[in-house]
Amino acid sequence: MAFSEQYFRWQWSLRSSPEALWPFVSDTNRFNYDGGNPSLKEEPANGALPSGYRHLYGTLPMGTLEWDEEPYEWVRPERFGVMRHFRQGFMERLLVEMELAPRADGGTVLTSHIRVKPRDLSGLFIIPYFISWRTRRHFDKSFRAYDRIASLPTPSVLDFPGNVNFITGGRRRLKATREALLQQGAWPHLVERLVHIIQNSDDMTVSRLRPYMLADVWGISRRHVLSTFLWATREGMLSFEWNVLCPLCRGSKQTTTTLGDVASQVHCDSCNIDFTVNFDRSVELTFHPNPAIRPHFTDQFCVGGPQVTPHIVVQQQVGPNDMRELTLPLEEGRYRMRTLALRGGQFLRVRSKAESQGAFYASVDSWPNVEPELSSKPTLQLQNRTDVSQVFILERMAWSDQAATAAEVTTLQTFRDLFANEALRPGEKISVGSLTVVFTDLRGSTQIYREDGDAVAFGRVMEHFDILRRAIDDEEGALVKTMGDAVMAVFRRPVSALRAFINAQKILMAPPKGARPLHLKVGIHSGPCVAVTLNNKLDYFGSTVNMASRLEALDTSFDGAIISSAVRNDPEVAEWLQTGEVEAKAFEAALKGFENEKFLLWAVIPAGQKQIEQAQSLEVIVSQ
């Protein structure tokens, strides 16, 4: 017997704009969790389903439901929806759609559409109760709560209240770790904010704490928040995880508790691609309460909604040899149009004054090698020229800067001090993007030991390491290793490296009364690096590292630093050199291992010092 589809339509008038409501309403994982829906599991489709479909199941009070879920469709911030085809149970299929229309007063009219086709007689009785009573109450409660949060001056997930379940003894452990953090000198105001989250935020909020996002919400230095979270992990208040992100969908495809378990090659089932992991974008550090305080919440309630991939502004399924047209607002910037099933994609750029229409074609041939420019509210034509359905995806190319990436975390001195054993598995090599590498050596250390005696000289050398460590840490760098009297350090920004060692040189040259001044040889270079494990610790290698070590090895007699053109041409370095705090001279030199070419290098010292003029080994060719 065939049963007619049942249709339910509800509407809400809300105070917040569609743009403000979108991050909350379209977070279907949280929405299902807030509604008390069961967590779900996913099984591999193994090629039995069309591209983008997922095979899922979950348990309701009336039994287990198993379904095939079509890809979510959405147009940010106007509408989203999903179709589910059930393999068993009282429903045959379910379509849920949400529309957010702006009101003249700045608010939103939110309309929900639900279409359900019963499978059998039981569905005729269960669906009206399940949808009209239970689902409508959930929708009403959630949307009004989201509206209140979206109306706040700085809305965030921290504003979600929830039931908090502590492990037996968890509150005592939280109190003890709080006291330990304060004894370590952590900022009390920040510690109290962290404790407040653990005590009051719901399970979903605390399951993935992102320190940079919290720092932005609180208006506190990102480095300060990250360092506090690392100390909280060391003291047992928090635990951390490394999340490996797919470069296309940007979803987490691997979660590990140690860098040693991060593989250099990972597969994404959603995008059906293998990708090479890099520390610069692919690996993010997140935190959650220590399981000895609160249970670690890992349940999923939705795997494909718009907020799972917030950088995707449009996702639309277009049938074989069909076309869809839509008009939507877009922020200025660079985008890419692609489909789930076809390789490649087409880039486009959005500017305020550009073409108002654009057409994009999905075919078995490659995408056009042109980059059209479109206005900030264009009309897009999505044309499917293949014999199967295609899921069109329009995604922003800009990555969120709220991720504490492995490239940044591993170049922080606090991380290296607290988690010295965090390293890659032996033999693994992972790109970390561009780093600034510094090598130093203590000039004349043999003479110091001979003239001052071993004990005095050794103490002075140790003091010099302490000065360098503080200077490196103050500029958000990390000391990688010491080698005799030499050090290797890394920084994310070239100007930070240069400032750190110019400042260190000043301190070393002006010691306490009666102590010998110390002089460093310093070489600084920026470029791509690869992370490896050496002597059970995280280390770096590559041509950038080799070049930095060669710069330090140049025989010079001035108290400054030799920098490469890559460092000199960095915009922040160029700006700092113009302040007059330092002086720079350019020279050419051949480097060991690079004998067939000469390099344009720069000698930099604090302003007012004379050594730069006395460096006879430098062939000065440009004066700054």
Give the residue from 155, 189, 215 where a domain finishes: 155
Residue 1 lies in a domain: no
What's the rounded Cα separation, in Å, for the pair 27 and 34?
11
pLDDT value for 61: 64
| Residue whose token pair is 């010092």 | 609
What's the rounded Cα separation, in Å, for the pair 217 and 152?
12
Residue 405 lies in a domain: no
H-helix or E-strand spanning residue 169? none
User: E strands within 1-149?
Assistant: 6-14, 40-43, 54-60, 63-69, 73-75, 79-86, 91-102, 108-118
Pair (435, 566) in one structural domain: yes
pLDDT value for 291: 95
Residue 415 lies in a domain: no
Helical residues (DSSP H) of 444-554, grouped into ranges: 445-452, 454-474, 494-509, 543-552
Question: Number of C-alpha atoms within 13 angstroms, CB side, residue 145?
Answer: 18
| Cα 544 versus chain centre, distance | 24
**CATH assignment at residue 28:** 3.30.530.20
CA-CA-CA-CA dihedral for 324, 328, 331, 332, to nearest 10 = 60
Pair 56, 82: CB distance under 8 Å: no
pLDDT value for 443: 84
pLDDT value for 608: 67
Residue 117 lies in a domain: yes
User: E strands within 535-615?
Assistant: 537-541, 561-564, 582-591, 594-606
What's the rounded Cα separation, in Å, for the pair 572 and 485?
30
| Six-digit token string for 438 | 């510094």
pLDDT value for 400: 75
Question: Number of C-alpha atoms within 13 angstroms, CB side, residue 152?
Answer: 14
**CATH assignment at residue 557:** 3.30.70.1230
Q: Residue 205's domain spans which residues?
A: 159-299
Pair (349, 274) in one structural domain: no
Pair (295, 324) in one structural domain: no
Give the residue from 247, 280, 299 where a domain finishes: 299
Closest CA to 508 of 516, 517, 499: 517
Burial classification of residue 508, based on how many CB atoms lie within 10 Å of its CB (0-12 exposed, 13-18 middle, 19 or more buried): buried
Pair (96, 227) in one structural domain: no
Pair (261, 382) in one structural domain: no
Residue 407 lies in a domain: no
Burial classification of residue 349, based on how many CB atoms lie within 10 Å of its CB (0-12 exposed, 13-18 middle, 19 or more buried): middle
Question: Number of C-alpha atoms within 13 angstroms, CB side, residue 200?
Answer: 11
Residue 203 lies in a domain: yes
DSSP 307: G
Pair 160, 142: CB distance under 8 Å: no
Pair (535, 605) in one structural domain: yes
Weakly modelled stretches of the chain, pLDDT under 50: 612-617, 619-624
Pair 371, 180: CB distance under 8 Å: no
Pair (481, 531) in one structural domain: yes
pLDDT value for 622: 36
Pair (292, 313) in one structural domain: no
Pair (613, 565) in one structural domain: yes
H-helix or E-strand spanning residue 121? helix 121-127
pLDDT value for 88: 85
What's the rounded Cα separation, in Å, for the pair 139 and 380?
31
Pair (291, 313) in one structural domain: no
| Residue whose token pair is 């359905």 | 389
Residue 410 lies in a domain: no
Helical residues (DSSP H) of 344-430, grouped into ranges: 406-409, 413-418
β-strand pairing of 561-564 with 520-534: parallel
Question: What total of structural domains would you count in the chain?
Answer: 4
CA-CA-CA-CA dihedral for 200, 203, 204, 209, to nearest 10 = 60
Give residues with Cβ within 8 angstroms of 65, minimum separation 6: 57, 58, 59, 86, 88, 89, 91
Residue 114 lies in a domain: yes
Pair (583, 595) in one structural domain: yes
Neighbours of 544 (CB within 10 A): 22
Pair (441, 563) in one structural domain: yes
Give the residue from 138, 155, 172 where a domain finishes: 155
